[in-house]
Structure 1
Amino acid sequence: MGVVVEPGVPPEVAGMLRANAPLLSRIRAGWVPPAVQPVERRWPSSLALLAATPLVVAMMSALLASPVAPVGFVLLGGFVFVVLVKIASINEVPLHDRPYERGVYERARWYHGRYLLADDFDAEAKVVLARAQRAIGAVLRSHVNAEGLLDDARNAVMLPEQEWEIARLLAKLSALRGEHKELLARGIAPEVAAVIEPLDRALVTSEAAVVARVEALERYAGHVAEAERAYHARGQIEELRARLPRYEELLAESGADALAVPEIEKLAEDADDLERLLRRSVSSAHEAFRHLEG
């Protein structure tokens, strides 16, 4: 699983966070990228070099035309060297200057608490979250959603909110479950056992409630998958229906039109049946969606 980001985080920031899970883990563990420091340059500035160029060129021309031409070559070489060094210094990015990592670090701090990493979930929670993400992904990637047969606008808003809420609850559950296991591992006095039992039930009940949310998502995804199958089958039947005249023409020209099989003519009926099936499937998906909201 990757980084789960609260839907309210700006898309460009959410994309950066999702693309940098290992870096976010390092930042959470205490790693801090060095701040960007201004680098002092001791070479002549670009403006100074530009101003000096005509003078240097004139001096070199005079020297190259004089008996001391070797001095002109030395000056030319030195000037070219300084220019090349200046160009290199402009393009150079110091090793300690890492603006991208610094940008991730600053956004990670700014949006702290609005994203969750794999480290936030125990093994059981990861399984439950993966189920939710599979169901949500199946709906959002479906053709029936892309074609607007479902409420694609509400799906685009509500399903990421469901993912975040499920992930947030699972992270909290994982933390409490970890603390609870540590407490039990240290040994519980008989007097404390009566208090521990309700806490155990609270953890189990909370997990069951989250799993119920995930199961509702999976039922919704199941209805969408049924609508998806009907959608694709309808498209194939429509394609075959469009070819019917060519088959009928071939049968007529070959003198076999009397032998036209009912299965070919039945394509129109099949298409109508699939259209009704698609409508029923989409209607069932809408019902599951409303149940999911409730």
Structure 2
Amino acid sequence: MSGQDVTVVVDPGVPEEVAWTLKSNAEQLARLRRGRPPEREPDDDRQPWGLVLMEATGLVALGLVFAAAGLFPLVVLTTGAILMLLLARALPAAKPQDEARAAERELFEQARWYDGRYYLREDFDAEALPLLARTQRAINSVLGSHVNAEGLLDNVRNFVMLPQQEWEIARLLAKLSSLRAEHNDLIAGGVAPEVAQAVRPLERALLTSEAAVVARVEALERYAGHVAEAERAYHARGQIEELRARLPRYEELVAESGADGFAVPEISGLADDADRLETALRRSVSSAHEAFRYLDG
């Protein structure tokens, strides 16, 4: 995952449906952030009542002429035309873009209401984006794993704690990005020697803080690595179990073909393989739990 693939990070305390909306509309949020509010409600483009009444009056007069001439079918048609004209004025024409405008206005309101509780790609500089990308990749790999879905890990705590870790890392990276930008602007034109001496502690503070965030990201990646090992053992164990289930058919074939002495020892080794994979899975899950406790502490 590159910095280009970083997704919107939302405070875990934001309601789930709002968080989903914010995460699904990164481009629109970026446009709103740049000062492009949603379009106003379009003006009512229905015909003015005065014009409608003039047309209706003309149709009424025409209907009276038809009635006087005894052309009653035409009178019925004229009456229907009058009703259609009035109904067309009373009901606004539906437009395909109305729904899109309403959705954008709702997004704009949510973005304003939850301002400060979500971060976009634009909130991170070139040094921060790869770190956030690594964070999201590690978290997604854990939450998307079968061992987590099967409850072999502490999936409840994963779904609570990992988004909190993502938010905290994103918050620190956004602050680092902002301070780095201010610092670079300050020294862009050069600094006097006495100012340079005062600047050094600030630069060390930035580097130290970044190192602390990197340590958090690496801890997440270690946890994700243990989960990946457990995932591999989990899938391999499943494949071995499928082979063991088919073992009687193979044994029957071997017995019927008279090849017992050659093949049976190798086939029987499936049981040993399954035991080894079960042990590897338990060991991998145990290691993941240990990494989780370190991450949580």
Scaled by the length of structure 1, the TM-score of the pair is: 0.86
Contact 2:147 2:230 in 1 (8 A): yes
Match of 1:147 among 137, 145, 150: 150
Contact 1:220 1:288 in 2 (8 A): yes
Contact 2:38 2:108 in 1 (8 A): yes
Deviates more, 1:227-236 or 1:15-24: 15-24
Match of 2:294 among 269, 282, 291: 291
Task: Report Cα offsets for 1:54-84 as digits up to 9, x if no partner.
Answer: xxxxxx8xx6897234741651452363266
Structure 2 Cα separation of the partners of residues 228 and 75 of structure 1:
76
User: Relative to structure 1, is the Cα distance of residues 102 and 241 closer, same or farther in structure 2, using a 3 angstrom cutoff?
Assistant: same
Task: Give 1:51's aligned residue.
Answer: none
Long gaps (5+) in structure 2: 1-5, 50-62
> Percent of aligned positions with the same letter in both sequences?
63
Amino acid paired to 2:134: R
1:266 alignment partner, SS class:
helix
Q: Kindly indicate whether residue 208 of structure 2 is the aligned counterpart of residue 205 of structure 1.
A: yes
Offset of residue 190 of structure 1: 1.3
Structure 2 Cα separation of the partners of residues 21 and 276 of structure 1:
44
Match of 1:130 among 133, 142, 149: 133
Task: Give 2:30's aligned residue.
Answer: 25
Structure 2 Cα separation of the partners of residues 164 and 139 of structure 1:
16
Offset of residue 37 of structure 1: 7.7
Task: Give 1:3's aligned residue.
Answer: 8
1:89 alignment partner, SS class:
coil
Structure 2 Cα separation of the partners of residues 170 and 199 of structure 1:
16
Contact 2:46 2:89 in 1 (8 A): no
Offset of residue 85 of structure 1: 2.1
Structure 2 Cα separation of the partners of residues 258 and 2 of structure 1:
59
Offset of residue 152 of structure 1: 0.4
Task: Give 2:20's aligned residue.
Answer: 15
Match of 1:166 among 155, 166, 169: 169
Structure 1 Cα separation of the partners of residues 227 and 97 of structure 2:
53
Report how many residues are paired: 280
Structure 1 Cα separation of the partners of residues 97 and 283 of structure 2:
63
Scaled by the length of structure 2, the TM-score of the pair is: 0.85
Long gaps (5+) in structure 1: 45-59
Amino acid paired to 2:102: P
Structure 2 Cα separation of the partners of residues 92 and 205 of structure 1:
56
Q: Kindly indicate whether residue 291 of structure 2 is the aligned counterpart of residue 260 of structure 1.
A: no
Which of structure 1's runs of 4+ aligned residues deviate more than 3 A? 34-44, 63-66, 90-97
Deviates more, 1:16-25 or 1:94-103: 94-103
Task: Report Cα offsets for 1:116-169 as digits up to 9, x if no partner.
Answer: 011100011001110111111110111100110000000000000000100000
Q: Kindly indicate whether residue 282 of structure 2 is the aligned counterpart of residue 273 of structure 1.
A: no
Offset of residue 39 of structure 1: 4.8
Contact 1:2 1:117 in 2 (8 A): yes
Contact 2:47 2:89 in 1 (8 A): no
Contact 2:251 2:264 in 1 (8 A): no
Structure 2 Cα separation of the partners of residues 36 and 100 of structure 1:
12
Q: Kindly indicate whether residue 226 of structure 2 is the aligned counterpart of residue 223 of structure 1.
A: yes
Cα RMSD, aligned residues only = 2.9
Amino acid paired to 1:283: S
